[in-house]
Structure 1
Amino acid sequence: MATPKFIQDIRAKAGHILLLLPGVVMVVFDGQGRVLLNLRSDNGKWALISGIPDPGEQPAEAAVREIMEETGVSAVVERVVSVFTNEPVEYGNGDLAQYTDIVLRCRAVGGEARVNDDESLDVRWFAVDDLPPLGPIARERIAMALADEPTWFAPAAPPVPDAQAAPGA
């Protein structure tokens, strides 16, 4: 994934410290129910289309832009599937990042699936029952996008009552 300019600017001042960054991950379906995947150029693995919103950009806008930039497919966002904070990652240059991903179910409305930038080695549609090797998180996100369920998020622990608070306050 190409590092956006605004993150390069932050890194110039912050160095390699852990940055909490927003991410969008798109589960894009076509009219035949196939899912769009790209073979990433940075790690050689198949993945869902993803990216980082630009400052001031809404997640759905980032999703539509990233899908077009990476795959040549025009899509619309249908719903939020999940919100999930991933484990921290360390890049080869020592940069640390942790992404809070907004996973969006999208529907293709035009364009041709193709390698459209340097972030992908291949771009293809896959039948859901004939996916290439994918990690468990990507498979879970596809299953969640197919389900007609409310948005998933990790639940928070209940607050600890304050011993100083008045009853019923």
Structure 2
Amino acid sequence: MIPINTSVVSGVVLSMFSNKYRMLLLKRTGEGYWCHVAGKIENGELAWEAMVRELREETNIEAKDLYNGEYQQQFYDPSHNQIMLITCFAIYCEPEQIVHLNEEHTDYKWCDLEEAKALVPFPNQKKLYDHIWLNFVESRPPDHLKINVC
């Protein structure tokens, strides 16, 4: 039996630059790979609250609009013999958003879809980015997916 871990959330951050959407990628300290914002849900937090907190901690960005991304990243983590099931969000922020990284990341880039997919190492990330781009950039997301952040 393989346990399922649902303690992590992630979010793809979107901002307009010169009237075109870009997604934010962060370069992790240590591992050195490119990724989107992610982190653990703390005791007493709802998943979306953890996402907003992680976004603020990792980038100093406030979510303008937060959406249920309607996507679950899943993969096997051999170091802990568990299946990771990660709820993903789409996050819109202010146009030409400025990023202030914390110690978890060494660099960042605002990318179009193809640039982002070329940078990330995991196939599941590429699928997530395709999904977010199709449903949150190329089309307007339905109102019922919006999460009211107070």
- TM-score (norm: length of structure 2): 0.73
Contact 2:62 2:93 in 1 (8 A): yes
**In structure 2, the residue corresponding to 1:74 is in which secondary structure?**
coil
Give yes or no for contact 2:72–2:85 (8 Å, CA) kept in 1: yes
Deviations 1:84-129 (A, max 9, x none): 4321241xxxx555421001111113762132x2110112211223
State yes or no: 1:42 paired with 2:27: no
Higher relative contact order (CA 8 A, sep 6+): 2
Q: Superposition RMSD on alpha carbons, in Å?
A: 2.5
User: Unaligned stretches of 5+ in structure 2?
Assistant: 142-150
Aligned to 1:147: 134
Pair 1:78 & 2:83 matched: no
Local SS of the residue matching 2:115: coil
Between Structure 1 and Structure 2, how many residues are aligned? 129
More helix by share: 2
Amino acid in the other structure paired with 2:119 = P
Task: Write the deviation string for residues 27-84 of structure 1: whole angstroms up to 9, x where unpaired.
Answer: 1110231001110013100011111111121111111111111112211312233124
User: In structure 1, what is the Cα distance between the partners aligned to 2:94 and 2:50?
Assistant: 16
**Unpaired runs of 5+ in structure 1?**
1-17, 151-169
State yes or no: 1:23 paired with 2:12: no
CA distance in 2, matches of 1:19, 1:106: 25
2:48 is the alignment partner of 1:60: yes
Answer with 1 or 2: which has the greater Rg: 1
- % identical equivalent positions: 20
